[in-house]
Structure 1
């Protein structure tokens, strides 16, 4: 690499003719609304392609550093990565490309150093260094930043502030990923289960005590009413969804058996209006958690309809006259919304608002805290928050996890708003209605019949590289095997896993098996994470997979692989916290270090 003095000379001849001219003309435009709509529809059905992983990124400013500093960006790909171009978003919101072709600021074609002109907010980068220094002074423990790849902690790197004098024209300024996990209070900004929040009498309804506000902004009624929009009255919209358990459904060519206890346990016990409609003011659904999954937005948005801001989730538990007394006989419903903020500046503002909830001066569950949280949730759940999605709703999917309707096994189901633009094989064929919640295939989870089968061994072999990289998907059909992607996965025991015979014939077979199983709904909720069916329980309690990090983010949650015996360490909450801090406090350029994620849970 050239030194800073040489680079300063180069800018004397390049800045005027290339950099400033290209910036004034504009390097590109924001995607058109119809383009965004197409991307949303596509990502709702399959994982997005992954961008190449970067090893490092640096910037050489051509003028005095400021909030909008033009200059030369340079990057190297991580080992094993390949690309002809590295696409970035500048801090002016414009797309830019780094190339290794010897043109437009690139020093030498084919040397592995990709270059291109763009704008970086160096004022913010300086503030990041000040934050690092402040946190260093507050603790005697070394400050580090962790690199995660598909939930695996790859490495930890020391986190030290850059020297102040490096911020000058012509100097090479590193742009490393920075996320300070300890800046986040996970109970306030990631997984919120505090009784004063989920039991706020002005915003929630408690069916066990018959108290609260049935029209509150965090009630089941409010979410269903906004989701239905003008498609149907909310009581009808709700009942049509629940009635799908009363009859056999056909999803991807196979039968999903009815669970008739939906009538006796829920629908028949639900109070009705004089018109015969469900009385949503007396819904049996009690809020137990509000969850910020900003981490699902890494890498410009993950699969299944998420945006760069990830998902916002609400977890409800069915509370009837029986389950109020015996809540372990559970029925959980999870509303999973794609946060409708696709642009980097929007994502950043969203993350900053969640970080603000971690302010030590803001008491969890206080009136001020709940008001700030409400301002966030309403941006996502209100009708027409996502105009290009069905019903204008930002909902990605509604998932259920229950044992209430049929003992002795827990069963999971997934529902999405039906659109005629979607592949009908993903939905039940039993009279799907546009704009209604319709049973859908269960993401990344084959039909249970394929567990411990040669077909699964073949799948692990054929998709080995993608599974190991965490980028695989489970298709509707696999080769000559039709109707492979499943629905209604069941968990007979807490130790349930997905397994396959002859793993020794599969490249990295034990790891491939684990990664595949972990990314299924049932494997994630059972043996792969040593979890007893629920990560957020029917009364709001958290599984050890989550609770360990909520107590101390640096404490590993260790799980012994049930097949290989390998001990795997998870730092789930630390990873989520680090990402939130990074999204809130780093520039759009540096966010390019985010490794895309494709896990749906």
Structure 2
């Protein structure tokens, strides 16, 4: 962006604004307290992506410096007005019509008045300089789209000399992935954590705490709330594999080995109910998916807090030789924090786990981690969601019950939901089989129907932008969105005939396939069905960046032969550091991540 000083028009408007206390700006809204009770995260919004943001202060540097803001939209983005939230928590509007603070109509720069925490921005520059001194390589900020590096921008600290009234100050995004220890703040699989005897239960050895805060029993009990007894809630969920289910008008075949492999082997109480104290599910990972909240959330561009995930595997409680390699359950909770200030505090707590003085698996570390997980999983954490639970969905990935590998998704059914998205046997308050997000029924792979879907102008553009959805029906094709994606081999991917007729066909095919459940867990990421294995081992897609987030994971496109360099962990680490340390206004530069995986 071209740097400009404050001209006559802008200078006059600044004086007027300062004297009138915002004049014609929209009514200001108070900052919501960080101690506010947690509520359900609002539905995601697709906000215009910004290319750049800059600020011309009208006063000396402080935690609440007033001045003129300018923003430029990213290429291809359109907007009449830009709604942002200043660092004082108040709504502000940037315009490009020459009114109410805008410098010049139609110049492509949206401008208006707001408040910026320049103290924080200045400290960020000091932090960049400090990390640069410790790093052997130059610091950069990565722009990543669908896990692929688009560009790198050098992170060079701004001179303190420009932090003066009337000088243009770039407000640039900063995220230092080197500040994050991925095994402590992103994907936690260390046995001293997931095997903590005060918080977890080991069904093989019969040791631990069956009522621990990270046990399968605790999560299911809190999720059931008062809708059902926890054993009944669990039993009904698992029995859905015993009979054919109908989801979105198509049959999902039964996998009756659920009875012999899990239900019949599960110890029961004298009442005949499942004994949740002796659940066969063992915790293998706790995962912070803050990145899934990027670019989502409140009405003025604040970001959501993403998801908190727990991965469990079924253990053979009889032989206890090893975990079954083939039945995993992933609890995916939507973190019920809404405004940017809440999300920032959430990120700071997760980043705090990376502190070198906090030993992974120590009593202090595990206690601090519990203080983050427990408020999310407790009953009534999200009062407006079914059962008051913050759970978004429960997913399974297994080959224990039959071949091939199969994934399913379950949500708590509510009468307010679209019944076509759930199995026809759904009962309110219970986990019920649900359609799988962004994944059609497998029968549509390599069909003209999929070619048509990818070529449709609206779908084509949305897939490239990462904002697409897969509808229940597509055109004259009914029952399009699927419910039980399978992976016959690790070479599985989604493809379409006559791909050359699809605009940007190679990239559109890849992005579509990558965002399906079975494409993501197979050939698109060169993954052997699980990203977190039954012993906590990570797929190369994840493991490559755990020791060094700057290391790319290269995958050759199965159709074009193009080599793509994925930076999954770098993206997650950079997002965590940026969220924890950037002001809420600067975080409006976040590029939305609308992945479901």
The aligned counterpart of 1:460 is 454
- Equivalent of residue 117 in structure 2, options 118, 121, 128: 121
Query: Quick check: 1:3 aligned with 2:5?
Result: yes
The aligned counterpart of 2:349 is 353
2:114 match: secondary structure: strand
Distance 1:570 1:2 in 2: 37
Query: Quick check: 1:164 aligned with 2:160?
Result: yes
The aligned counterpart of 1:475 is 471
- Equivalent of residue 406 in structure 2, options 407, 411, 414: 411
The aligned counterpart of 1:364 is 360
- Equivalent of residue 13 in structure 1, options 8, 12, 15: 15
- Equivalent of residue 430 in structure 2, options 400, 412, 436: 436
2:172 match: secondary structure: coil
- Equivalent of residue 337 in structure 2, options 322, 341, 344: 341
Name whichever of 341-350 and 550-559 sits farther off.
550-559
Question: Contact 2:545–2:552 (CA<8 Å) still a contact in 1?
Answer: yes
2:325 match: secondary structure: coil
The aligned counterpart of 2:384 is 388
Name whichever of 473-482 and 460-469 sits farther off.
460-469
Distance 2:281 2:27 in 1: 54
Residues 479-512 of structure 1: per-residue CA shift (max 9 Å, x gap): 0000000011111001100111110111111111
Name whichever of 149-158 and 486-495 sits farther off.
149-158
TM-superposed CA distance for 1:323, in Å, is 7.7
Query: CA 1:381/1:346 → structure 2, altered by over 3 Å: closer, same or farther?
Result: same
Question: Contact 1:5–1:170 (CA<8 Å) still a contact in 2?
Answer: no
Query: CA 1:25/1:49 → structure 2, altered by over 3 Å: closer, same or farther?
Result: closer
1:156 match: secondary structure: strand
Question: Contact 1:202–1:216 (CA<8 Å) still a contact in 2?
Answer: yes
Distance 1:170 1:450 in 2: 59
The aligned counterpart of 1:449 is 443
Matches within 5 A, 1:253-268: 253-268=249-264
TM-superposed CA distance for 1:98, in Å, is 0.9
TM-superposed CA distance for 1:126, in Å, is 1.2
Distance 1:309 1:350 in 2: 7
2:173 match: secondary structure: coil
The aligned counterpart of 2:60 is 64
Question: Contact 1:85–1:99 (CA<8 Å) still a contact in 2?
Answer: yes
TM-superposed CA distance for 1:552, in Å, is 1.4
Name whichever of 439-448 and 7-16 sits farther off.
7-16
2:493 match: secondary structure: coil
TM-superposed CA distance for 1:535, in Å, is 0.1
Question: Contact 2:315–2:322 (CA<8 Å) still a contact in 1?
Answer: no
Distance 1:469 1:373 in 2: 35
Matches within 5 A, 1:434-583: 434-462=428-456, 463-583=459-579
Question: Contact 1:15–1:62 (CA<8 Å) still a contact in 2?
Answer: no
Question: Contact 1:453–1:501 (CA<8 Å) still a contact in 2?
Answer: yes
Matches within 5 A, 1:301-316: 301=297, 308-316=304-312
Name whichever of 80-89 and 580-589 sits farther off.
80-89
TM-superposed CA distance for 1:65, in Å, is 2.0
- Equivalent of residue 418 in structure 2, options 423, 436, 449: 423
1:512 match: secondary structure: helix
Question: Contact 2:295–2:303 (CA<8 Å) still a contact in 1?
Answer: no
TM-superposed CA distance for 1:376, in Å, is 0.1
TM-score by length of 1: 0.94
Matches within 5 A, 1:206-221: 206-221=202-217
Residues 26-55 of structure 1: per-residue CA shift (max 9 Å, x gap): 258979xxxx98984xx4xxxx44212111
TM-superposed CA distance for 1:577, in Å, is 0.2
Question: Contact 2:282–2:313 (CA<8 Å) still a contact in 1?
Answer: yes
Distance 1:272 1:581 in 2: 46
Query: Quick check: 1:291 aligned with 2:281?
Result: no
Distance 2:501 2:556 in 1: 22
Distance 2:12 2:4 in 1: 10
Question: Contact 1:323–1:329 (CA<8 Å) still a contact in 2?
Answer: no
Distance 1:37 1:374 in 2: 19
Distance 1:426 1:65 in 2: 53
Question: Contact 1:288–1:538 (CA<8 Å) still a contact in 2?
Answer: yes
1:59 match: secondary structure: strand
Residues 405-463 of structure 1: per-residue CA shift (max 9 Å, x gap): 11x31100000011111111100011x11111010000100001001111000011011
Query: CA 1:60/1:309 → structure 2, altered by over 3 Å: closer, same or farther?
Result: same
Distance 2:9 2:329 in 1: 57
Question: Contact 2:223–2:389 (CA<8 Å) still a contact in 1?
Answer: yes
The aligned counterpart of 2:372 is 376
Which structure 2 segments of 5+ residues have no match? none
Which structure 1 segments of 5+ residues have no match? none
Question: Contact 2:454–2:508 (CA<8 Å) still a contact in 1?
Answer: yes
TM-score by length of 2: 0.95
TM-superposed CA distance for 1:86, in Å, is 1.4
Question: Contact 1:494–1:533 (CA<8 Å) still a contact in 2?
Answer: yes
The aligned counterpart of 1:397 is 393
Distance 1:12 1:382 in 2: 48
Residues 227-284 of structure 1: per-residue CA shift (max 9 Å, x gap): 1111111111110111111111000000011110111111110001111111100000
